[in-house]
Structure 1
């Protein structure tokens, strides 16, 4: 979704009367980082920010947090999810997708999962594509449960079950990557940041190969494709509305 398709101004979803304005916050070609005052997670670039006397205040929201609908039907969650503006009572709870602590805006599922928990999703995580077709031949689908080890952390699926992207049409080797691991690969030392786009891609490839078990035979060709998946998912998590267009992928996103 292009940022130009978002409304220029909206009323803050949790603070009645507070006007927010859409801002493309960049320094040169680099997107400026911020912390979302809705979900309390990092963001970059495009955001909604409050404006007083034409001077932006510190209040800022991801576009996904600012425009989140009161309810949501998600392909991977049974029943209706309700938007809540405060963390769960007692501060307990993690996002079903990324396994990060829920500290602010989130969707709360009305029906428990097989583990006896109510699913929760950050608004940005609720917008993650459920299917991504990457140039180079691989298609990835978002799944709530898988029966194999993650390529990134090698964890066995048991009680630890963040959502995972699984390749669906790899003839030689099926790839699994937790949403949580995708974020960690991009944010880890050597995983991204600094240098040009090519250098960043090389660092992500090196990080993927480092994490992969030797028996997985993860080829550099596959890693190059995974770099695109990593970039798309991370950009969606930080609230970049142009992620899908920038990477030129075909994706299916859960509607709001």
Structure 2
């Protein structure tokens, strides 16, 4: 349950207010991208994912049944550089850490829904899959790209890491180091990303890409911390620019 105004240890100067944005932001807690519902200080431009603003002290995860993940504001002392086991991206801020196994999860990755349903296709979160990712062509598990969302028909698969990159790779640096930027010129295009994977008749390609495009919106929304129908539509609009 969201609270409209909260105090957070990461920002002593002011309370944070619950807000909604259609413009991507960088979370000051986990240092990962976000969009949609979040907590912000409008005076200082301090932003937190809801998962980072209101973390659970400890969590379990169905992929790691023997682990207990504790919320930490920073990586453990004297710890080497770490990466998230879900997306295999570096841990730069808040995290969930299992002391016994050494596994780490970004807060948004730790709270990813196990199933996404856009009304036309259902996507299930998988730790390992044999099918290739629609974006990078690689497979999940082992030394791959971590977790994936896969359709029940197994024809559509997207790494959690690739979902992050599709929306953030062109503007992540800009958000951090430039004062102003334009969404319409900085968001990477969805066109051409999905079509090359399917080499059947044009009609089937068009339908498959349309379904994959709809599913993609929900995956990116979930990875960025707001797995809702409303924000999925926003993400779709940004990707189509």
Please name the residue that 1:62 is paired with.
49
Distance 1:246 1:174 in 2: 24
Q: Secondary structure at the residue paired with 1:107?
A: strand
Q: Compute the RMSD of aligned alpha carbons.
A: 3.1
Distance 1:156 1:6, change over 3 A: closer
Q: Which runs of 5+ in 1 are unaligned?
A: 26-30, 113-117, 249-256
Q: How many aligned positions are there? A: 215
State whether structure 2 residue 180 is matched by structure 1 residue 194: no
Please name the residue that 1:238 is paired with.
224
TM-aligned CA deviation for residue 17 of structure 1: 8.4
Structure showing greater relative contact order (alpha-carbon pairs closer than 8 Å, 6 or more residues apart): 1
Please name the residue that 1:102 is paired with.
91
Distance 2:32 2:231 in 1: 22
Distance 1:90 1:80, change over 3 A: closer
Distance 2:27 2:20 in 1: 15
Q: Which runs of 5+ in 2 are unaligned?
A: 171-182, 234-241
Correspondence for 2:31 among 31, 35, 40: 40
Distance 1:213 1:222 in 2: 8
Please name the residue that 1:154 is paired with.
137
Contact 2:8/2:15 (8 A) holds in 1: yes
Q: Secondary structure at the residue paired with 1:226?
A: helix
Q: Deviations over 1:110-159 (max 9, x none)?
A: 453xxxxx3211111122211122322x3211011123332321224442
Distance 2:209 2:123 in 1: 13
> Please, what TM-score do these two structures have when normalized by structure 2?
0.74
Correspondence for 2:108 among 124, 142, 149: 124
Aligned residue runs from structure 1 range 12-27, under 5 A = 12-14=8-10, 19-25=15-21
Contact 2:149/2:160 (8 A) holds in 1: yes
